């Protein structure tokens, strides 16, 4: 059995996808091993899409929710992003879920932009709740 969490921890989401894609595992093997996180009727899904679903579903279970991220200060958030080997695509997806659309300049250094935006939103939420945390 493959420890998918460990594989993602070691290689990041994109590396895990590449590893599964290049493995000797058949689509049937993947469906059997990861049936708990796959949608019904996955047998007709193309290999790349199947692997993307498997890794994405597992990754979602491994990462903190946006509300948890907004409780973090900028340094902690940067450290967290580095520790989980967050990809550019994951940062963009996270920002989109928060209804944040980075401009072209911000996309050049997307992690810094995301850290600044998420910590700012978190600060505003804490102020609105009436208990500002000192950094």
Q: Are 118 and 69 in contact (CB under 8 A)?
A: yes
**Confidence class of residue 28 from pLDDT cuts 50, 70 and 90?**
very high
Q: Residue range 115-130: average pLDDT?
A: 90
**pLDDT band at residue 106 using 50, 70 and 90 as cut-offs:** confident
Distance, in Å, from the CA atom of 120 to the CA atom of 54, rounded to the nearest integer, reads 32
Please tell me what DSSP assigns to residue 84. Answer: T
pTM here is 0.72
What's the rounded mean pLDDT across residues 80-100? 90
Q: Span 99-119, mean pLDDT?
A: 89
Q: Is the pLDDT of residue 133 over 60?
A: no
């Amino acid at each position: 059995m493959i420890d998918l969490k460990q594989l993602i921890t070691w290689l990041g989401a994109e590396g895990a996808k590449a590893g599964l894609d290049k493995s000797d595992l058949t689509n049937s093997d993947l469906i059997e091993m990861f049936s708990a996180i796959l949608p019904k009727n996955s047998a007709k899904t193309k290999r790349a899409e199947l692997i993307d679903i498997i890794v994405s579903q597992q990754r979602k279970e491994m990462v903190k929710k946006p509300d948890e991220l907004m409780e973090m200060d900028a340094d902690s958030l940067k450290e967290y992003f580095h520790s989980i080997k967050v990809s550019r695509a994951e940062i963009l997806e996270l920002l989109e879920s928060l209804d944040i659309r980075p401009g072209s300049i911000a996309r050049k250094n997307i992690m810094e932009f995301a850290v600044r935006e998420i910590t700012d939103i978190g600060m505003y939420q804490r102020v609105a709740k009436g208990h500002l945390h000192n950094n």
